[in-house]
Amino acid sequence: MVLKHKPNTRPSTGPSQQLIGRVNYLGELLKHLPTTLPEKTIYDHDALKFSLDPDILEDGGAFAAGSRALEVAFKTYRNGGKVSFRERGATVMALVPFLKTVFAQLKENERAPWADAWLDRLVDAAKEAGAKVPSKTRPSATSAQSAHPRTGPPTATPAQTQPAVVAVDSDSDSELAPPPRKKTRSALVISDSDNEDQPSPSPAADADMIIEISDSESIESRPAKSISPAAIATKTASLAAHAQKAAPKNIKGPGQASLFDLGFSKDWDSAEAKAHYESKERLRWAEKRDDRLAEEAAAEEARKQREKALTAIRVREFRKHESAKKAAANAAKETVDEVTPVLMAGAAAVAAGPATPMNNAVAVVSRSVNRTTWREHRDGTRGGVVVAAEPVEVNWFHPLLWNDIDEVVRSVSWALRPAVRFLQKKHKDGRFAKLHHSTLWRYKEEGRNVWKAKTLESVTSYGKIQASGRVGILTKHPLIVDSVKTTLEGIREAKGPVTVGIAQALIRAEVEATAPQLLEQGFKISETFVRGFLASVMNFSSRAATRPAQHVPDDAPDQLLRTFHRLRFAIKAENIPPKILNGVAPPDVRFPKEIGSLRDATISPLVQLYDFFLTTEGSRLIRQSFAKCKIPDSPWCLSEECLYSSASEIALLEYLGSDPTLANEIKKCCGAAKLDRILTIAEKEGEDRDEAHFDGSSFDDAEVPLERVVEAAILGTDVDAFESTGELEDINYLAPEDV
């Protein structure tokens, strides 16, 4: 199979190889500028510097920016546009990458004009400055063999008869790179032009080439003439001897040797130039020597530091490893000495089997004491329901059980069936005998390998939390549960209190209306059941409402006394009647009638209670409840007789004089003028009361308030009961229905 080379059909996006070759040729010229030109570095302020101006590059493109940079660098505006090289070194060599950058940024139609305008001028300027590329001959096999001559005459091979083409660089300053050379196996014929009497080779071998070595720098190629093998051997031996004699003995390094290494000397124009060159070479060698010694010293120091750090790390790791091995060996020895008897005893115990299987005792152990003692009183002695002495369901949230469950479930990647089987096989005492994978499935979130938040709360509280939904005997009657739940939620939304008595009455009404057979079977609807119902169904806490009342301040009696006198001052200042103050007649209570008879049966106890408080006995009960609201270590209470008595008024005047807090509060709210007026009136009434007794004949009917006259007409009381204080005392107020 013959492989064919596929030509590259992709379009070229950069400068051509011919253009790059011309730039490289300029670089070769710049490398070989005459040594008479001063050598400058990039740190010299007057050295050539090449850079593209960003502003010009943005406005006029690479054509204008490159031209501007060369004009500024060579100062063509001073010498009529002529380019000249007056220095050599790294600054001049920076021109080559600069030109390649410019050609890369130029457009396709701009490269040829710019090259004609600048690249040709730069090449001509370099030649005018004396730059000359030295000629280089291609080494051949014959020339290489001449360095190591053979003892016998060379033997002609068929390869030597084949034609050979040797490309030789000429002294002409070509602007292009030399053409590629063809490799052949033909021998090269070398002749020395110093021997003019040597016969010329015959023209038989027209295709062969010879290289003529002469003292001049020019190397010419012409058709080879015939030469005898003996002459070739003699010439080769003489050249080899000359090469060995002229070759220096101190060539070091893998690099190519120069002409100076081979024994050639440089021609100098003058002794001063040679001395100047040697001086600069010595300085350069000294500078490089110091830098080289410094670099070698720094490298050696870095090597030592690195070796030191690595040694420290190795030593530290070795010591750490040895310490760990020693500690592990000691621990293993101690464990074997101490644990072996324990393991033997444990193995014997396991082989003997569990002494007391847990069975149903797990349910008892998993519950706390306060959750199991209530079963002791459910023996049916008082007509209640008989409850089993021991619980049946297991509290899996107990720490002794849940820790094993959580560990095993996580270790099997939440595979619940294998987890349950593993727990039952691992614990032979039966503690997980009743555990089912569906129970664990309810404890984890669906679609995620995590426990539910409610499950974690139950684990924290060592048992099931509230709102579990368990209702006991009412489980088979969900309508009763839903109705009671809806009613309690309505009372709660109306901001009404939900007590155990109200919930008990609602449950009894629902049971009597829907499932009375439960009461016949002995369902008592006890307070314990109601509290459990509120906790499991409604998630209500029985202590939440009374919790703030438990925090009684230390100065409670003083605050109560101040509150009492504040209320007495309001009665005196605003003439508040007792009916409004004590709330003997409660506001009207309305119940909706469109919800049906079921609601009527539910709230019948509340309706009866409301009707009772509308009677005389109910009003008296309310007054007695206010009379029970007494201040500790004080004769005052919130009853009507106490608040409207003369003794309380006198006590108010004394308290205002002794307690500046209440006086300042009254001044801030009502004003100082009103407080002074009330005090003045009270003092005047007290003096009149002391001087004379009340006389009914001197009483003016116009001073009696209109509401007192109406009350006297309706209730049948006497207006003479109105005292000088403007109030009626010892009047039994009845509801309008009782008149």
Cα distance between residue 558 and residue 571, in whole Å: 20
- Res 145: pLDDT: 46
- Res 158: pLDDT: 41
Q: What is the pTM of this model?
A: 0.25
DSSP state of 127: H
Cα–Cα nearest to 432, from 388, 402, 389: 402
Q: Does pLDDT of 554 surpass 90?
A: no
Q: Residue 102: how many CA atoms within 13 Å on its side-chain side?
A: 30
- Res 195: pLDDT: 46
DSSP state of 413: T
- Res 704: pLDDT: 60
The arithmetic mean of pLDDT across residues 142-161, rounded, is 43
**515 in Cβ contact with 474 (< 8 Å):** no
Q: Which of 136-140, 446-450, 534-538, 567-571 has the highest mean pLDDT?
A: 446-450
Least-confidence region, from 552-556, 666-670, 703-707: 703-707
Buried b / exposed e across 362-391, counting CB within 10 Å, b at 16+? Answer: bbbebbeeeebeeeeebeeeeebeeeeeeb
Least-confidence region, from 50-59, 197-206, 578-587, 681-690: 197-206
Q: Residue 243: how many CA atoms within 13 Å on its side-chain side?
A: 13
For residue 430, name the pLDDT band (cuts at 50, 70, 90). confident
Q: Does pLDDT of 383 surpass 90?
A: no
Cα distance between residue 128 and residue 116, in whole Å: 18
Phi, psi of 254 (to 5 degrees): -80, -5
Higher pLDDT, 305 or 589: 305
Place of tokens 């368990």: 470
Digit-coded pLDDT (tens) for 332-343: 776 655 555 655
- Res 173: pLDDT: 44
For residue 260, name the pLDDT band (cuts at 50, 70, 90). low
- Res 464: pLDDT: 54
Mean pLDDT of the chain: 71
For residue 220, name the pLDDT band (cuts at 50, 70, 90). very low
Residue 731: how many other CB atoms lie within 10 Å? 15
Q: Does pLDDT of 586 surpass 50?
A: no
- Res 221: pLDDT: 43
- Where are the domains positioned within the chain? 17-128, 276-353, 369-460, 472-550, 556-696
For residue 308, name the pLDDT band (cuts at 50, 70, 90). very high
Cα distance between residue 610 and residue 591, in whole Å: 12
